[in-house]
Structure 1
Amino acid sequence: MAHPDVVVVGAGVIGAACAEALTARGIGVLVLDRGAPAAGTTAAGEGNVLVSDKEPGPELVLAQASRRRWPTLLAELRDELGPTVAEVEWEPKGGLVVATTSASAQPLTDFATAQRDAGVDARRITANEAIELEPRLTKEIAAAVHYPEDAQLQPVLATTTLLAAVRKRGGEVRGHTEALGVDRSTNGTIKALRTKHNSIPCGAVVNACGPWSGAFSRAAGAAIDIQPRRGVVLVTVPLPPNTVRHKVYDADYVGAVASGDADLQTSTVVESTQAGTVLVGSSRQRVGFDDSLRVEVLRELARKAVRLFPFLADVQIMRSYGGFRPYAPDHLPVIGEDHRLPGLWHATGHEGAGIGLAAATGQLLAELFTGQAPHVDPVPFRVDRQP
């Protein structure tokens, strides 16, 4: 596509969702990525589509909208692309949050109460009911909350499905093309995206570069504060079906998600995949783009997972992987046009929630771009919001 209406920089799930929503409205889109599509942050994700880990506020509203949108969007894509191309391993399995100490029990129940007031289906259950949901769970349960709305999908499959729709509608996806900045017209608006190969004329650019969004925004001349935050996941050998039935995590996970500390934080998250493997997370650490795997992080993840599911002590870890998440200091994504540079749009800063928030993020950006009424309030996500 020589002269696209919009160039989306970043072919992860957020960029793909924005491109899909734009092309659904008849806009010509070129998607670029510095590497292979879906090979960065998206490939290092667990595929969580969660409402359970978000306190009442703008991010929860976006998460609720995205949870509603994902099944509808996937059904639309199956109709358009066929069931084989649009298979993303969608599992509305629900989540289970467990407090394993008396100290964490009351904060969990208070958190769930606040979420219920915000419209989340958060069900306080007994320890016995938690064991019925997860028979192999620890018996040390001080409190438990069941979240039926939590779901999971395979992030790479979801992204490639979104990009397949973009291509079918006449858009283009181009990997291994690094964006270096933008060219401006005489009135200060964007007229082209500069790459290492050439300049691509366009009317707008979407910064969906994930943890590299800060660097691209600086190169474009409209800096935003997005930093990489590293996370690591362990993967077990395949286990029998229904060994772990839900997304299960310890109550301290919510605090780790909301924290801005640079130091290492770990919290127990355990869930299965359709392939039979069990994913064990999670860690958060701001170490720049240092991608070395650290034994102490892996050891801590394993230790905490065994406390939640004792049977894991006898299960072999097959591999581990890590990735960088786009961290915004106020823990809210940036979605919308940059007032300092007309034609530059941002869709970034989702940190570890990008998979879950992608459907609503793409929809919101496309609504704002085309002048449609937004389905959620866009003000909290503006680039010029006040801290």
Structure 2
Amino acid sequence: MPDVVVVGAGMVGAACAEALAAAGVDVLVIDRGSPAAGTTAAGEGNVLVSDKEPGPELDLAIASRSEWPVVLDRLPANVADVEWEAKGGLVVATTDPEPLGKFAAAQREAGVDAQPITPADAFELEPLLTRRVTTGAYYPEDAQLQPVLATTALLAAVRSRGGEVRAGVTALSVRRSAGGRVIGLETDAGQIPCGAVLNACGPWAGSFGAAAGGPIEVLPRRGMILVTAPLPECVRHKVYDADYVGAVGSGDADLQTSTVVESTRGGTVLIGSSRERIGFDDTIRVRVLRELARKAAGLFPFLADVPVMRAYGGFRPYAPDHLPVIGPDPRVPGLWHATGHEGAGIGLAASTGRLITELFVGLEPHVAPEPFRVDRPAVISTVVAS
């Protein structure tokens, strides 16, 4: 009987399972589809400290950036290369330089290496940038990995430590003892006895939480990405316009777009990003793609003549206060949650897995867990009232 069944084989679920297994916990991971086929497959692979305001999420991001190399060092030697690149990030403003300067200064006070740079410095880092740049900030700690490869590698590590991964199994609810504690997971393939269940269902975590007796306010927020044809080296860092930070922190349901451009190891250029709360509507909206392309060409003019090979989108788990939900559910002993990371799940996964493990086995948490607790008002007040 597994100690923990992790429901969801995306990046966050895989990172939690790997960390638990590394600590000697017997883990089973299930997913209704294939591993890494949901939100994770629609991600860019960002491991960022540059896009978060000072506060709990930035603290988690700083810790996770340090944790990722530790996690990667634990992976079996025979797993695929996850394409880890500590390429650094470049944030530029093309209008008023003051807001970016203040933002970077606040991050420096919070412990981020946010280096103010001039337009000339920016052009040296990225020669093909628009000459409309007024100021910039360089973040050497920003990194990138390939999310599907990384998730697959984490799950391989779970298997290597005696854990199990089952695809095509849908979690329905939890089985509870007479005292209310979780003693099993109900699935469409039968019942799985276990000591605990971890809800790592991403944007579907709200519905599974409700079915398990621990409803949480986690909603889908759609994002779209364009992928160019392969190119010679042209974008050296992760580059985005200063308005990206505002879009990340916004709670507006309407469409928001901000410019994010980066190259992959395969030579393609990824162009984002959009945010839109439209439920689970997966319709491709041409106006969104046009807006992404227009803004990207404004930041890197050469992109106006580059063919787009494809576009893809995904649903990101959005919590109303923009903080992940990490920890035990006090309403259902034995039910745990790790979700609500929205577009930052790849970067925050390493520390999320570590924090879940520390709380589960009783170790001192490496970051303060209170801001991410399940029973905070922003996460449960709405669902309780309804």
TM-score range, shorter chain: over 0.9
Tell me the equivalent position of 1:200. 192
Q: Which amino acid aligns with 2:240?
A: Y
What corresponds to 2:258 in structure 1?
267
**Of 177, 187, 193, the match for 2:169:** 177
Aligned counterpart, 1:258: 249
Equivalence for 2:371: 380
Q: What TM-score do the two structures reach when normalised by structure 1? A: 0.97
Counterpart AA for 1:17: A
| Counterpart residue identity of residue 155, structure 2 | L
Equivalent residue, structure 1, for 2:5: 7
How much has 1:71 moved relative to structure 2? 1.1
Task: Give the aligned partner of residue 71 of structure 1.
Answer: 69
CA-atom RMSD, angstroms? 0.7
Equivalent residues in 2 for 1:44-55 (5 A)? Answer: 44-55=42-53
The separation in 2 between residues aligned to 1:197 and 1:150, in whole angstroms, is: 42
Moved over 3 A (4+): none
CA distance in 2, matches of 1:312, 1:86: 31
Aligned equivalent of 2:232: 240
> Which residue, out of 26, 29, 42, partners 1:28?
26
Distance of 1:277 and 1:378 partners within structure 2: 38
1:366 aligns with 2:357: yes
Query: How far is 1:179 from its partner?
Result: 0.4
Query: What's the CA shift string for 1:246-267, capped at 9, x where partnerless?
Result: 0000000000000011000000
Structure 1: gaps of 5 or more residues: none
Aligned equivalents of 2:82, 2:107: Cα separation in 1: 28
- Percent identity over paired residues: 72
Residue type matched to 1:167 in 2? R
Distance in 1 between residues matched to 2:246 and 2:258, nearest whole Å: 9
Residue identity matched to 1:50: L
The one-character-per-residue Cα deviations of 1:194-241 (angstroms, maximum 9, x if unpaired) are 001211000100000000000000101110000000000000000002
Residue 63 (structure 1) shift: 0.3
1:39 alignment counterpart: 37
Pairing of 1:329-340 with structure 2 (within 5 A): 329-340=320-331
Q: TM-score, normalised by structure 2?
A: 0.97
Unaligned runs of 5+ in 2: 379-386
The residue that corresponds to 2:82 in the other structure is 88
Residue 151 of structure 2 aligns with which residue?
159
- Distance (whole Å) between structure 2 residues aligned to residue 109 and residue 17 of structure 1: 34
Report if the CA contact (8 A) 1:74-1:86 is conserved: no
Task: Compute the displacement of 1:385 (Å).
Answer: 2.1
2:295 to 294, 299, 304: 304
C-alpha offsets along residues 335-367 of structure 1, whole Å, 9 cap, x if unaligned? Answer: 000000000000000000000000000000000
Q: Does 1:131 align with 2:123?
A: yes
* Secondary structure, aligned partner of 1:229: strand
CA distance in 2, matches of 1:164, 1:171: 9
